[in-house]
Structure 1
């Protein structure tokens, strides 16, 4: 192997070791309606939790992007339960689901989206006070299990391993906002832990 060939091999090895994702896909379902933003731009919205959205988006040259999701529960308070399920698939095959072992997901509750003008969906927004998600059933189980077959067909591959989630108890809050920052975690407040709930007390 001559010096030039050796240099080329080493360079390629270095690139492989420092791969930066430049494209990704976000898959989302929300109960009842949802909007998905990428770096402040609306890229998907829907109003049927059994018809998830699957949307491709670009990641910047440093491998960073913000996915911001708003979900509205149309059944106020204890009349119903809200839920959000999502995952992000990077172009190297990495999957980032809403799950207890993915601490980058954070959430907040607030006013309806039409009443907000604080640019919550943009990269510059300070989400350091946002809290970890509350987790419920894994996809295919629990309250939302009835839609599994239809949703699986729409999601496509890979298999969904995400958990349904919310911000605080999902029979108390109706306007919920979620963030995931690809390439950097949101600031985590000391002492805040994700809460996992094995099952829901409420049923449909």
Structure 2
């Protein structure tokens, strides 16, 4: 089950504050770990230096390494603030202050959803993030993050390479073994518990 649907559901259930932020030119924040060169773009070739190539100083959108480098830098900043990424979704970061006082941050490409009970703590996190990245504060969420095609490019881009290299084989999953979305349909308890197990959740006994 997608975190982008689970976290807003938790916020609605427990009446939490929900704020949204956007990172401007997110993929330019990543630092390259190796030297990369590119041909001069058509229409921007330097006269007298047609045989020169350009050396990249920052990651660019569309570069395979760009997604990974942007995430690594963001992860470093979040961990420096005391947040930990969840094991089920590495784009979800959480920090527990005490009891029910916590903040959850969901990173969706270059959009962020920040959920918590304490508005002042949320504001502090936004201020800290703005020190490291060019941020746009969208305020209280009026429209939940959309699932866009670039979400696939960032989080699942590696699948295309794996399938092309024939390192994995796609198989049809029978309905009985396929985890259903617990937020959209009513299920018998046995099926519900099986779906919880499939999605990494735990069904509490009643």
**TM-score scaled to structure 1, two decimals?**
0.26
Compare CA radii of gyration and give the structure with the larger one. 2
User: Which structure's residues are more often helix, by fraction?
Assistant: 2
**TM-score scaled to structure 2, two decimals?**
0.26
User: Which structure's residues are more often strand, by fraction?
Assistant: 1
